[in-house]
Amino acid sequence: YKRQSEESAFTKVVHADDLLMPECLERMVRLGLQHPSAAVIAAYRLDGRRVDLNVLPYPQSFISGRDLCRLRMLGRCGEPFGSPSSIMYRSADVRARREFYPEDNIHADTEICFELLREGDYALEHQVLTYTRHHEAAQTTDARKDGSHGIARLLIANKYGGYFLTPAEKQQAIGMQADYHYIYLARRPWQFLTDRTFRKHHRNALASNGSPFSWLKFALATGKESLKRTQAAISALSRRRMQSAA
């Protein structure tokens, strides 16, 4: 990032496996010029086979950073950032930071968006301009498997909730992300109960982000997930019997 020209107005990242549509740079730059306070400039994304980042109703293309982060933290809008390939930054914001991406967070690309939106705003182009490829070796795939994706969301709720939310809303956001993390743990109960390192890591992650571990919540989440699996198995068996009878 430090090698970019001092005359550069915008910074666009693209991961090696991702794609930019032919009009991506033109449309994003134009939108950035239309909204000088926008620190994060996004567009619809083709994420594998589905389109996302459609967080603003058409034709609204601008929202204050604080309003967007509040909606996101309270679960009142979908994913607004995607991956670094999905968005554009202002080069002045990049040059102003010694380390642009926080090194202590594996999901630093998400955290930097919340950091930028403390002072800046968000603009969205209502057009699919980027493509994110999915494959088993992707870092995001690994993050979802090892739980770091949920821990990062919990960290952001705890770290940035004070900027965008009331104290009560911050606790609500932390609680919501903690509940999601209990679901993650409930889907691998044997590993949590038998792997001391795994258990300590996730208990510490919850506690350090404002939500001390609760065996009751873990047990309730495990029971719900077990019931879901049982119901799904019964439904699958019923469908096979109906197909056989037909």
List of the chain residues with pLDDT < 50 = 139-143
Residue 87 near residue 39 (C-beta atoms within 8 A): no
Q: What is the pLDDT of residue 106?
A: 75
Tell me: the pLDDT tens digits for 68-94? 999 999 999 999 999 999 999 999 999
Q: Is 186 exposed, middle or buried (0-12, 13-18, 19+ CB in 10 A)?
A: buried
What whole-number distance in Å separates Cα of residue 114 and Cα of residue 126? 21
Q: H helices within the chain, ranges in order?
A: 24-34, 65-73, 91-95, 108-116, 139-146, 148-164, 167-186, 189-194, 196-208, 215-245
Tell me: the pLDDT tens digits for 185-219? 999 999 999 999 999 999 999 999 999 999 999 99
Q: What is the pLDDT of residue 81?
A: 96
What whole-number distance in Å separates Cα of residue 40 and Cα of residue 159? 19
Tokens coding 206: 């919850």
C-alpha to C-alpha distances, 35 to 18, 41, 89, 162, 185, nearest whole angstrom: 26, 9, 12, 26, 42
